[in-house]
């Protein structure tokens, strides 16, 4: 589970991600790499190729979050949503490895958010040489550049069909990617769908809706750099997994293990990050890349 977003702060575009997992994971400092679009920063973690967040000197930044959906009924146990969670999944799974590599390709090879989003959408729908065909699980991603943000959701089964009681009884279509380009000063999301009707309901996952409401409230008050820092440190709902800065009360709960803020600069990109901890317990570090 994660909290992601983009803020248009005067002439600077800032994107952020709070990375929450259930098992202890080793995160690595940003690594400077070279791609078709120039220099980029890759934020990586143990056991997974590719990146979980990144940005390049053209100002293209990437963040992603798990897409939590209402699962199909037990008699439809072949539901794609029973397979893996994309960003929080930690076991050995080569298709998820391919997804993380697709994330990296989008950051490495494209100098604008729309082209980067198109690249990831192509992977969702068509896969790669090792895993041809549509990706098996739902996903949420967001790209931004110096002029726009592109928020995207992927569903391998389109929308759901419901009976009169609100139970999922099937799906409406084929794999599909839906996008929107936010026009406000800020946009944030957690793990619930905005564009598909497949999202978990409030009683099924309190955290995603509580964190989203809190993030939007904080950015409404302060849609700038300081506001993002306050957001990523926020424990309005206490030291629990319900807060944006999450703390596990018992084994198996999510807790914040890494955070990142990307800020576009005139000749490059600044990355502020906390790894192997959270912004309330560890200091921010900074790395800058230039064209």
Give dist(CA 175, CA 279) in Å, integer: 37
82 falls in which pLDDT band (50, 70, 90)? Answer: very low
Give yes or no for residue 160 having a pLDDT over 70.
yes
Q: Which of 271, 201, 278, 194 is CA-nearest to residue 241? A: 278
Give yes or no for residue 73 having a pLDDT over 50.
no
Give dist(CA 79, CA 137) in Å, integer: 9
Give yes or no for residue 171 having a pLDDT over 90.
no
The pLDDT of residue 86 is 66
Average of pLDDT values for 254-279?
96
- Which residues 6+ apart lie within 8 Å of 65 measured at CB? 1, 2, 3, 4, 17, 87, 140, 141, 189, 190, 191
Average of pLDDT values for 280-289?
97
Mean pLDDT (the chain, rounded)? 90
Using an 8 Å Cβ cutoff, are 195 and 153 in contact? yes
Give yes or no for residue 165 having a pLDDT over 80.
no
258 falls in which pLDDT band (50, 70, 90)? Answer: very high
The pLDDT of residue 163 is 81
Q: Over the Cα atoms of the chain, what is R_g? A: 18
Average of pLDDT values for 3-30?
95
The pLDDT of residue 139 is 94
Average of pLDDT values for 206-235?
97
Lowest mean pLDDT: which of 108-117, 155-164, 185-194? 155-164
Lowest mean pLDDT: which of 13-27, 63-77, 186-200? 63-77
The pLDDT of residue 173 is 79
Average of pLDDT values for 61-83?
64
The pLDDT of residue 126 is 96
Average of pLDDT values for 186-195?
95
Q: Pick the residue with more confidence: 121 or 160?
A: 121
The pLDDT of residue 267 is 87
Q: What is the per-residue pLDDT across 35-66, written as a single tens digit (0 to 9) for each?
A: 999 999 999 999 899 999 999 999 999 999 99
Q: Pick the residue with more confidence: 83 or 89?
A: 89
Angle, alpha carbons 133-140-193 (nearest 5°): 115
* Rounded percentage of the chain residues whose pLDDT exceeds 90: 74
Average of pLDDT values for 211-230?
97
Q: Which of 233, 211, 169, 219 is CA-nearest to residue 68? A: 211
34 falls in which pLDDT band (50, 70, 90)? Answer: very high
Q: Which helix (H) or strand (E) holds 228?
A: helix 225-233
């Amino acid at each position: 589970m994660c909290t992601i977003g983009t803020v248009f702060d005067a002439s600077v575009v800032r994107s952020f991600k709070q990375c929450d997992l259930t098992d202890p994971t080793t995160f690595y400092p940003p690594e400077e790499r070279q791609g078709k679009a120039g220099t980029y920063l890759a934020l990586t973690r143990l056991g997974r190729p590719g990146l979980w967040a990144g940005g390049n000197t053209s100002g293209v930044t990437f963040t992603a979050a798990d897409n939590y959906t209402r699962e199909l009924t037990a008699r439809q146990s072949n539901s794609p949503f029973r397979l893996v969670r994309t960003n929080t999944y930690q076991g050995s799974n080569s298709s998820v490895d391919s997804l993380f590599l697709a994330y990296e390709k989008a950051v490495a090879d494209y100098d604008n958010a729309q082209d980067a989003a198109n690249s990831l959408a192509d992977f969702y729908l068509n896969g790669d040489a090792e895993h041809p065909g549509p990706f098996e699980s739902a996903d949420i991603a967001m790209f931004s550049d110096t002029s726009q943000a592109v928020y995207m959701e992927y569903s391998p089964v389109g929308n759901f069909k419901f009976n009169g009681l609100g139970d999922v009884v099937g799906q409406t279509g084929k794999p599909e990617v839906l996008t929107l380009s936010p026009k406000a000063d800020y946009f944030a999301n957690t793990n619930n769908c905005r564009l598909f009707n497949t999202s978990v309901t409030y009683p099924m996952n309190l955290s995603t809706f509580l964190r989203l409401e809190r993030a939007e409230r904080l950015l409404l008050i302060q849609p700038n750099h300081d506001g993002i820092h306050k957001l990523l440190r926020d424990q309005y709902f206490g030291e629990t997994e319900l807060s944006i800065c999450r703390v596990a009360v018992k084994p198996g709960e999510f807790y914040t293990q890494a955070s990142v803020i990307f800020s576009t600069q005139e000749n490059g990109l600044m990355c502020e990050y906390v790894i192997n901890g959270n912004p309330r317990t560890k200091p921010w570090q900074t790395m800058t890349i230039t064209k």
